[in-house]
């Protein structure tokens, strides 16, 4: 009988209890052991719960972290503190730890893995990225013989659901967000999803593993989807693209480029057909080529699936076979200005002769060639200009846009979105 | 330094040597050990090779299986014998084994895993299904907390390439096969791919793991793509479907349904967009929901990627943490006649009054309802009838077709293809 201490009894916590109960027989047969949740840490004892064994619940972490019968701690509180402290204490107490905490792992992963190694215990975090989709273990083990060239992921279900509503149902951003909140795909305060920081944390974790170099969320160049307009979604469609919020990690020699931004993907790109709240991670290795992992990136039972699988692995690896921090390299983070990409631009200008010529001139001066240009006269002597550039360093584009912004006839630079070349 | 004995030096064997060389530094840093291929078994010493260390090559298996310095045997000969005997001898000699051999694993996997367990060594076979795509380890470990409801896979690159050529380039089966052979996606004798038996072996392996019950290739109901005509590909498109050769494993209580057949998939089905020689496996678990694994199902370097990752895992698990045979259940294989599905049918009839009525009558007598029917008069008083049924047991359809075949006006039952309901 393996005794487990559960920290946190929210959505995922109750999902884990449910799953261990529901699939008890299957889990026991596969593992050769029974899993028992001995104690559960909650914040507030008074909150009524539909839980059969009231004696398992405590609001005192010491009762769990100090219990010698408990060999595995499962941290599902989320956020920085007190989760970080509890995980440290669990490792110091010689207990294995399973967590879903992307904030703690993305910022403190290296320190905690080193501590686990020193203590001779294991730390698992499959559920911290991509919910139930197997991605951490495949990258650490199945793709271990590869040098990773690039990873691309749709890592946030909320924003993918919103963009899908905009693309398939022609909803505005605000309408799509409201729909997402109604359906439970977005929180009442969806900022961390919308502004890309949730995806940035997950990319930091994946990139650290992929490139064997410690990358933290603050190093990820991040743009959210707040400036993606339905107009851009439709222009993109006309041009044969879909707009997704894509996390990219790419190796350039001793540098690594990490970003989370909206991207125009060709219709045929494997990520372009990933809809609604689904996530997907595309990994390109120098032996395996392209592989993709796809599934539900969040949700009570998918996340519980990853947590309980990690618990089973913690049981199996009690006496050895551990993979600790593999961040032995120290790659530089590439300056986002040096990132080379194609770009989609949408500008609003006063419809006067010569404005297109001036804009193209500024582009040319910054070594930006244009692949497509079209202009639509909207109304009241205003025109909308849409351009797609060839590949150019981001800083060249930024320089050009600085100049262009200053022109009297340019009313607004409405949209600047990267375009992915490969399909 | 970990000493490895390589059995077989064909495409994958040389890929493994190349990969260990090329990514040597990365592998050593991640593993904490150096991998060395000490000896290589070939059939014919005289064959000239571009190989630096001639002294590694031998045609005597005893020199490898009896070498005490070698701790890991990598079997890449393929086929039943002598590979099966070599694997047994390696396990009996207390060596870990890594193999890509789907024939041996699908037919003898349980026996070999039990032998490995008895000998206290490990047996890995990630490369036996889906080339470089992580699937075996994710199923055994990452999805270990799930009860698997269904698995669906495109497991054969040759047939997927052919069907893609037919679908996207409007080629006939023969033209597409010729193209596949020219491009290296099909062997000169492609029978095992075309007739579905390659996919059946892979499905047997995946299903045994998914449903914890030993399933062998001979138990898989198998149809190949030899009877898929360009006409059917185009009718399917008109109806909003794509035709793929799909391996399906599905649990029904204490029974499991296993089949490899051409299937009409809705355009939006995740497997419908898997093209060319790519493979994909869709797994539905009762906690995680749907997850999909996609990538190159074959090829020198992708397969080598999976083999070397297994070698690394063999090194890590030298002292414990092994997953042996998990076939503890004994599920019955469902009688293929009881398999319930929708069906697409194409018939050639003499264009006489009443033929459609007779055919529909036979359908009705066998409780088969029709969802769509259309008729095209071709020439010379011949007509082509296409029908799509609602869900019906396969044996009901077989009975109806027996009757229909006997009608004087029915010249040929040209096509019978299952239609997948979900998207």
Least confident of A74-88, A353-367, A368-382, B38-52: B38-52
B153 in the same domain as B125 = no
B347 in the same domain as B228 = no
What six digits make up the tokens of A30?
A: 């596969």
Task: Write down the pLDDT at residue B350.
Answer: 92
Q: Is the dihedral of CA A258, A259, A260, A264 positive or negative?
A: negative
* Domain count across chain A: 3
DSSP notation for B275-329: -TTEEEEEEEETTTEEEEEEEE-S-HHHHHHHHHHHHHHHHHTTTS--------B
3-class state of residue A163 by DSSP: helix
Least confident of A88-92, A310-314, A419-423, B230-234: A419-423
pLDDT digits (tens, 9 = 90+) for A372-381: 998 888 878 8
What six digits make up the tokens of A60?
A: 């005192």
Closest C-alpha among B321, B314, B317, B315 to residue B32: B315
pLDDT digits (tens, 9 = 90+) for B366-400: 999 999 998 888 878 899 999 999 999 999 999 99
A283 in the same domain as A144 = yes
Local confidence band at B353 (pLDDT 50, 70, 90 cut-offs): confident
What CA–CA distances, in Å, run from B359 to A50, B384, B389? 58, 13, 13
Closest C-alpha among A110, A86, A82 to residue A97: A86
Least confident of A59-63, B13-17, B45-49, B117-121: B45-49
CATH label of the domain that carries residue B63: 3.40.50.720
User: Residue A273: pLDDT above 80?
Assistant: yes
B286 in the same domain as B197 = yes
Task: Look at residue B13 and tell me if it is in a domain.
Answer: yes
Does the beta carbon of A285 lie under 8 angstroms from any beta carbon of chain B? Answer: yes
Which positions in chain B touch A295 (Cβ < 8 Å)?
288-292
Best of A144, A167, A276, A294 to disrupt the B interface by mutation (most B CBs within 10 Å)? A144
DSSP notation for B346-394: EEEEE--TTHHHHHHHHHHHTT--EEEEEEEE-STTEEEEEEEE-SEEH
Task: Look at residue B230 and tell me if it is in a domain.
Answer: yes
Report the mean per-residue pLDDT for chain A: 93
A186 in the same domain as A216 = yes
User: Residue B53: pLDDT above 70?
Assistant: no
Last residue of a domain, one of A282, A316, A350: A316
Task: Look at residue A322 and tell me if it is in a domain.
Answer: no
Cα-Cα end-to-end distance for chain A = 50
B148 in the same domain as B287 = yes
- The predicted model gives B260-280 an average pLDDT of 95
| CA–CA separation, A6 and A3 (whole Å) | 10
Local confidence band at B49 (pLDDT 50, 70, 90 cut-offs): low
A140 in the same domain as A120 = no
Task: Look at residue A155 and tell me if it is in a domain.
Answer: yes
- Residues facing A73 on adjacent strands: A5, A97
CATH label of the domain that carries residue B281: 3.30.360.10
Task: Look at residue B331 and tell me if it is in a domain.
Answer: no
| CA–CA separation, B37 and B73 (whole Å) | 10
- The predicted model gives B31-36 an average pLDDT of 93
Of B30, B141, B295, the CB nearest to A291: B295
- The predicted model gives A389-416 an average pLDDT of 96
User: Domain residues for A365?
Assistant: 337-420
Last residue of a domain, one of B267, B296, B325: B296
CATH label of the domain that carries residue A382: 3.30.70.260
Task: Write down the pLDDT at residue A34.
Answer: 95
Task: Look at residue B69 and tell me if it is in a domain.
Answer: yes
Task: Look at residue B75 and tell me if it is in a domain.
Answer: yes
Whole-model pTM: value is: 0.93
User: Residue A48: pLDDT above 70?
Assistant: no
Pairing mode, if any, of strands A221-222 and A148-154?
unpaired
Does the beta carbon of A293 lie under 8 angstroms from any beta carbon of chain B? Answer: yes
DSSP notation for A208-239: HHHHTB---GGGSEE--STT--HHHHHHHHHT
A109 in the same domain as A236 = no
3-class state of residue A267 by DSSP: coil
| CA–CA separation, A162 and A225 (whole Å) | 9
User: Residue A50: pLDDT above 60?
Assistant: no
- The predicted model gives A317-323 an average pLDDT of 76
Closest C-alpha among B21, B138, B98 to residue A139: B138
A290/B296 touch (CB, cutoff 8 Å), yes or no? yes
> A-contacting residues of B 198-237, CB under 8 Å?
212
B141 in the same domain as B123 = no
pLDDT digits (tens, 9 = 90+) for A136-187: 999 999 999 999 999 999 999 999 999 999 999 999 999 999 999 999 899 8
User: Residue B262: pLDDT above 90?
Assistant: yes
- Residues facing B222 on adjacent strands: B260
DSSP summary character for residue B132: T
Task: Look at residue B205 and tell me if it is in a domain.
Answer: yes
Task: Write down the pLDDT at residue B48.
Answer: 56
DSSP summary character for residue B54: G
Task: Write down the pLDDT at residue B325.
Answer: 79
Do the beta carbons of residue A75 and residue A103 sit within 8 Å?
A: no
A342 in the same domain as A200 = no
Closest C-alpha among A144, A336, A76 to residue B313: A144
Task: Write down the pLDDT at residue B52.
Answer: 57
| CA–CA separation, B2 and A108 (whole Å) | 33
Cα-Cα end-to-end distance for chain B = 50
B184 in the same domain as B149 = yes
User: Residue A98: pLDDT above 90?
Assistant: yes
Do the beta carbons of residue B56 and residue B37 sit within 8 Å?
A: yes
A292 in the same domain as A360 = no
Which positions in chain B touch A326 (Cβ < 8 Å)?
29-30
Task: Write down the pLDDT at residue A47.
Answer: 63
| CA–CA separation, A334 and A210 (whole Å) | 16
pLDDT digits (tens, 9 = 90+) for A220-238: 999 999 989 999 999 999 9
Does the beta carbon of A61 lie under 8 angstroms from any beta carbon of chain B? Answer: no
- The predicted model gives B172-189 an average pLDDT of 93
Percentage with pLDDT > 70 across chain A: 98
Last residue of a domain, one of B296, B329, B349: B296
| CA–CA separation, A38 and A50 (whole Å) | 17
Report the mean per-residue pLDDT for chain B: 93
Interface confidence, given as ipTM, is 0.91
Local confidence band at A52 (pLDDT 50, 70, 90 cut-offs): low
């Amino acid at each position: 009988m393996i005794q487990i201490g559960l920290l946190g009894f929210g959505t995922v916590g109750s999902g884990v209890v449910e799953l261990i109960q529901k699939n008890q027989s299957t889990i026991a047969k596969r593992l050769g052991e029974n899993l028992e949740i001995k104690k559960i840490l909650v914040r507030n004892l008074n909150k009524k719960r539909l839980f059969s064994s009231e004696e398992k619940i405590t609001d005192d972490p010491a009762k769990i972290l100090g219990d010698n019968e408990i060999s595995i701690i499962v941290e599902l509180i989320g956020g920085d503190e007190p989760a970080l402290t509890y995980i440290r204490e669990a490792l110091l107490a010689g207990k294995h730890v399973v967590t879903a905490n992307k904030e703690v792992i993305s910022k403190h992963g290296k320190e905690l893995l080193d501590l686990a190694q020193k203590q001779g215990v294991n730390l698992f975090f499959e559920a911290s990225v991509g919910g139930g989709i197997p991605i951490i273990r495949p990258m650490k083990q199945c793709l271990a013989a590869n040098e990773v060239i690039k990873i691309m992921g749709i890592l946030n279900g909320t924003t993918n659901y919103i963009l899908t509503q905009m693309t398939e149902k022609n909803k505005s951003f605000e309408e799509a967000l409201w729909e997402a909140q109604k359906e439970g795909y977005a929180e009442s305060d969806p900022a961390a999803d919308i502004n890309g920081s949730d995806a940035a944390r997950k990319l930091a974790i994946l990139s650290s593993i992929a490139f064997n170099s410690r990358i933290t969320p603050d190093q990820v160049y991040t743009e959210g989807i707040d400036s993606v307009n339905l107009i851009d979604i439709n222009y993109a469609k006309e041009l044969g693209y879909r707009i997704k919020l894509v996390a990219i990690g790419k190796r350039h020699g001793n540098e690594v480029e990490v970003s989370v931004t909206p991207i125009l993907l060709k219709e045929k790109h494997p990520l372009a057909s990933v809809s609604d709240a689904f996530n997907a991670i595309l990994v390109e290795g120098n032996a395996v080529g392209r592989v993709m992992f796809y599934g539900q990136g969040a949700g009570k039972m998918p996340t519980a699936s990853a947590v309980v699988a990690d618990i089973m692995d913690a049981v199996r690896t009690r006496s050895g076979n551990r993979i600790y921090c593999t961040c032995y390299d120290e790659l530089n983070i590439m300056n986002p200005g040096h990132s080379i990409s194609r770009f989609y631009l949408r500008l609003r200008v006063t419809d006067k002769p010569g404005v297109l010529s001036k804009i193209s001139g500024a582009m040319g001066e910054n070594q930006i060639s244009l692949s497509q240009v079209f202009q639509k006269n909207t109304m009241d002597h205003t025109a909308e200009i849409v351009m797609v550039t060839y590949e150019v360093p981001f800083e060249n584009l930024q320089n050009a846009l600085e100049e262009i912004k200053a022109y009297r006839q340019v009313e607004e630079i409405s949209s600047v979105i990267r375009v992915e070349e490969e399909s």
